[in-house]
Amino acid sequence: MKLTNLTLKNRTVIVVLTAILILAGAFSYSSIPKESNPSIEIPIFIVNTIYPGISPADMESLITQPIERELQGINGVKEIRSNTLESFSSIVVEFDLDVPLSEASQRVRERVDLARTELPPDAEEPFIVEIDLDDFPIMTVNLAADYPLSRLTEVAERLEDAIEAGSGIREVETVGEIEREVQVNVDLGELNGYGLGFGQLVNAIQAQNLTIPGGTVDVDKMSYLLRVSGEFEDPSEIENLVIARPMGEQSQSAGLVYMRDVADVVFGFKDRESFARLRAYKMDENGEKVELDESEIQDNQVISLNIKKRPGANILDTVEEVVEIVEGYPVPSGTNVVITGDQSENVRDLISDLENSIISGMLFVVLVLVFFLGVRNALLVGTAVPLSILVGFIVLYAMGYSANFIILFSLIIALGLLVDNSIVVVENIYRYRELGYERFEAAKLATDEVGYALIAATATLLAAFVPMTFWPGIIGQFMGYLPMTLIVVLLCSLFVALVLYPVLTAYLVRLDDEEKKPMSIYFKGAAIGFSIFIAVAIGMANVTTLVVTVLTILFFVGSFKYIIKPVSEVFNERTFPRILKYYKVMLRTFLKRDYTVKYALLRNSLSLSSLTVALVLGVLGAVIGIFSPASTILYILAGIFGALGVILVIIHSIEAIFIGGKISIISGISLGILNAIILLLVSISGSVSLNVWLVLMSVPLLLVVIGIFGLFRKSSKPLILTDNRSLLLNTVMGALLAIFGMFSLAPTGVEFFPETDPSRIIIELEGPIGMNVEASDEIAKEVQDRIYNLIDEDPLVKANIENLQTNVGVSGDPFFGGGGQSPELSRLTMNLVDFGDRAEPSANTLTKLREIIRDIPDIAVKIEGEEQGPPTGAPVNIEVSGENFDEIVRITEEVTQILIDASVSQSVPGLVDVRNNVSGGTPEYRILVDYEKASRLGLSMSDIAQTIRIANNGLETSKWRDGEDEYDIMVRLRPEDRQDLESLRNLNIVTQMGASMPLVSVASFEEGTGLGSITRLNLQRTATIEGQAAPGFSGPEVLANAQELLSDYRADLPSGYSMEYTGENEEQEEAFGFLTTALMVGFALIFLVMLTKFNSVVSPFIIMVAVGLSLIGVLLGLILTRTPFGLMTFIGIISLAGIVCVNNIVLLDYVKQLTEQGLQKKNAIIEAGLIRFRPVILTALTTILGLVPLTFGINIDFVNLFVNFDPNFQFGSESTGFWGPMGIAIISGLTFATFLTLIVVPVLYSAFDSLAQRLGALKS
């Protein structure tokens, strides 16, 4: 290879380049933004409009519909949803993902500007919110004090300004504060007595509170600005405003009406829109968890500052910056600051878990390499992992990626794969050195020999992942980081193996009998000096770290010298040769040929291939069929191939009756033992019904009976299947049928994203539309009390909780169209202690909370844990649409009640938190205006509506500035007049001619109920019903049971009305559909790569059969661990396909090389198996052991070990729940695939070779 020649000629450059890459990689990793979830662009925009005092129905016609009509005409819009409430309209516009975010934003703004001309002039300006995953608080700063809330609000506002000045801060949202305003409280009696209207009051304030420029004047060669300033310096000045004077009255004071005559001017507080409370816990001196006392936290005196970071900002740096600001901010005496909901702790713990898993995996990998390659070569090969990862981080940093949990887990998957290329290069160079070649000549020849094979093997791995990079949708953007990261690090691994390692290996590899060159005195001195410098630097930073580092070095040196090295030498010199000897005997036995029975081998090969294809298609159909009927074609194809395989097996059985039965007896007994073992293992983790036992044990029993009958009838005739290859293939077929039968009869279930143990539990309480914030606060207090009682009574819950934060009057979830503060909505957030400190799983705590909260009357309750992964809808999400909204409401309420009853009775197991978005009607008084009479009197609808709105809701007429602070001047009736309907009837309406008359003279009042909220989908009124799956229950299974329950009701819906299942179900269908396509395309690409490599169809076909058979291991792993088949399992199967192909390619390629050198086929297969045994085992072990720490939650905190001498060893982590299913799929699948690669694939290759020879003989 020209590349090898170039690198070896410039080996000094390569050494320097290696050092530069290490430093650049370390810098890239330290600089790359750290976050929990990937930063993804979501082309979703929310258009919010406020129009105070307007009913939902009027908001829909006046605000929502005009904006929707304009938005509908935008190209690339995928969906338009709207939610219209009293005084508030929220429209969610979702674009196709191929529309650039900036272009979509511009289109929305242009259309909203066009719609603005159709909106009422007194409606507030629509504001557009761009949704992204950073639009959620990263932490909450809670202020508690023992002084008045008004003063605490001032402290919170100043702190808010200080935090918002931070470089990484996007927004600070305040909850629980009280805002000041200048209130002009109008006495209705006095106002009516003077015959005045609100218009005069408003005009008087607006006309006086002005600063107007008067131009410039030149005086004595100087130019002066003229400014007419009439702004209020004090709110009391408003009282002295003249609002009316008698007609024709010229006196300066007689008969004047002042503001103070009709209103009280108060610098007071706005009506409270939200409440915040906090109860936190700490450990006392005895190690007992106690509540912070009231001198530290006051339940009713808490203001919460929700901090949101800028997109792309490093969450760890941002939180650290906020903490520094808070700690350095001078707060008054008696103020306590408590930080809750710190997302950086989760990110730090998550990254720490994954980093520790990577380190643990690397240690496992190096340990395995030591046993197979020796200490020196193992350490050299082991450095390929961190080197490839560091080079990968350079590329990822340049691509603008962040270090999130998906990228870090991708590196864990790649741990075992990263050493494969380097193993091949180092082993081959070592072999050439043993043959006597000079070190650099050996590096050249060895790399040239394997270079193209490594490129082909890497291309095969990439072919499995490339289709996943085209994953559409938000989930595709989220999960797309996984294949991209794997592609990057695998290419970096190839670069390291072919560019860096030939030079490094030539310098560092030394033969066992090679004389060790003495180290230069200068080099030795430099090494000692550098070591002393590092030791002093570490000691100055942390003495504990220095001690632990020295002890660790001594431990590893001693372990390698006195334990690992002697054991590895014994293993390599004695144990491993014996293993190879037994493997050779086993392989030779299974390759034994006997052609007594015609076509037996052909039937076995075809039946195995057919059943493998049926297994793959059947599993895909079963998974996809839960979400879409489009899987029917997969079932049909699976049935065809399965029928072909079963027919061939039946032929064998019939032939066994007439020809012989020895092998049938052996197969039946073996299969029976295998089934019994599987059933017993499954019984340990979950119950297995008697029917499952009978069905699975009937097949081996039948084989034994057939075998005995065959022996009895034709004992003197040749026995069937005396070809040992057929025996092995029959055994594999039996295992295939057994596992598929087990998975069919005792399925593990299906899930979308895995269920994790949440670090935070969120309780949402939603009252009926119209409930004021004070009433919502009373409900929240009741729920709090129930939770406090549970904490006091249950020590496990008390041990789990860190704090409980209550926010009343919060906004809805912005990602799903919520917006604006809703007085009827409360949110309680229970933050839990770290995973390792929990006394019970979070899911148990969540279940206990649901039990004590779910029975609150007239309140919709939603309890859920914060989960990892992209945002998705509810497991049960039903959208009801049709022509008449009243009918939609009726259907929605009936379906909701059916599901609530099913949830209570558990006729739909696992269904909880059922609710809908059809709000109960808002109580209202309809003011019916006599249009003819009003017109005669010179009154317009606008005059009447405007007066009522100002009187009741108030009008922000102007601003009063006090230094840098600015306060609203609000004009409206006194509270006692606003709460009296009779006062409203007597409200004076002033005509354009100046005459006044009471409202009741031109209008009547009618009590009624209006719509609470109106939801629309693509410009049509729609209602949504949602339900959650309880912990331990699969969302798809809950949905399937709910669909079955509602099937009759859905079939009987009136014409023109529909019920569609959307939400998580829709996203699952899209995701699994894409992954099925990606799997098929990946198989096709892999097949093409192998076809190019082998220039033959047979070898690629055999390898693809091996990939399909590896599903036996995957399904067995899922059954034994009772792990549901989900999205992560699917991704694991795709990853597994690439790994299995690489091992088999290397094996069969070597068989091809040996046969081309003239070796007989059978001997070539055995020799290739022996030569490739070590690399195959190494690939499997390194990949499996690299995944073990995270899959099974083996966690050692290496940083804490070196800093505090505390490894904090624990089993399980929050990451394990999310990534465990993928790890189980890869580990179990690769374990079985290793057996396939070393035993079954050679036998299949031999079988197809025999078939080819027979076909050639027939042609002759």
Q: What is the CATH number of domain 2-36+346-515+1068-1258?
A: 1.20.1640.10
Between β-strands 988-990 and 996-998, what pairing exists: parallel, antiparallel or unpaired?
antiparallel
CATH among 3.40.630.10, 3.30.70.2190, 3.40.50.300, 3.30.70.1430 for 757-866: 3.30.70.1430
Region 494-512: mean pLDDT is: 82
What is the sign, positive or negative, of the torsion defined by CA atoms of 1167, 498, 362, 411?
A: negative
Beta bridge partners of 145: 335
Percent of all residues in the chain with a pLDDT value above 70, rounded to a whole number: 76
Domain ranges within the chain, ordered by starting residue: 2-36+346-515+1068-1258, 44-130, 180-269+923-990+997-1010, 523-577, 600-751, 757-866, 874-921+1011-1062
Region 407-425: mean pLDDT is: 78
* Greatest mean pLDDT range, 67-76, 239-248, 355-364, 1145-1154: 67-76
Region 1137-1161: mean pLDDT is: 82
Q: What is the per-residue pLDDT across 159-198, written as a single tens digit (0 to 9) for each?
A: 998 998 888 888 888 888 888 889 899 998 888 888 888 8
Is there a common fold for 44-130 and 874-921+1011-1062?
Answer: yes
Residues 6+ apart with CB under 8 A from 205: 184, 238, 241, 957, 958, 969, 971
pLDDT at 547 over 50: yes
- Relative orientation angle of helices 1127-1156 and 1064-1094, to the nearest 10 degrees: 0
Would you state the pLDDT for residue 960? 87
Q: What is the per-residue pLDDT across 18-67, written as a single tens digit (0 to 9) for each?
A: 889 999 998 998 888 877 777 777 788 889 988 877 778 888 899 999 99
Phi, psi of 79 (to 5 degrees): -160, 145
Instruction: Tell me the H-state helices in 841-940.
Output: 842-853, 885-905, 931-936
Phi, psi of 1194 (to 5 degrees): -80, 110
Q: What is the per-residue pLDDT across 417-448, written as a single tens digit (0 to 9) for each?
A: 777 788 778 877 877 887 888 888 888 888 88
* Greatest mean pLDDT range, 607-616, 626-635, 940-949: 940-949
Region 1122-1146: mean pLDDT is: 80
pLDDT at 628 over 50: no
Would you state the pLDDT for residue 734? 57
* Residue 678: CA count within 13 A, CB half-sphere: 29
Q: Is 924 exposed, middle or buried (0-12, 13-18, 19+ CB in 10 A)?
A: middle
Give the DSSP H or E segment for 1017: strand 1014-1017
Lowest-confidence region among 613-622, 1046-1055, 1081-1090: 613-622
CATH among 3.40.50.880, 3.40.50.1980, 3.30.70.1430, 3.40.1260.10 for 44-130: 3.30.70.1430
**DSSP assignments along 260-293, one per residue:** HHHEEEEEEEPPP--EEEEEEEEE-TTS-EEEPP
Whole-angstrom Cα distance, residue 116 to residue 51? Answer: 13
Measured in whole angstroms, the distance separating CA 307 from the mean position of its chain's CA atoms is 21
Phi, psi of 904 (to 5 degrees): -70, -45
**DSSP assignments along 952-975, one per residue:** HT-EEEEEEEETTEEEEEEEEE-H
pLDDT at 601 over 60: no
Per-residue confidence band for 492, with pLDDT thresholds at 50, 70 and 90: very high
Q: What is the per-residue pLDDT across 191-222, written as a single tens digit (0 to 9) for each?
A: 888 888 888 888 888 888 887 777 777 777 77
Instruction: Tell me the H-state helices in 937-1063.
Output: 941-952, 975-978, 981-985, 1035-1051
Domain 180-269+923-990+997-1010 falls in which CATH fold? 3.30.2090
Region 137-148: mean pLDDT is: 85
Domain 874-921+1011-1062 falls in which CATH fold? Alpha-Beta Plaits (3.30.70)
Q: Is pLDDT larger for residue 179 or for residue 1219?
A: 179
Region 459-470: mean pLDDT is: 86
Whole-angstrom Cα distance, residue 395 to residue 489? Answer: 9
Phi, psi of 1051 (to 5 degrees): -65, -25
* DSSP secondary structure letter of residue 750: B
Q: What is the pTM of this model?
A: 0.72
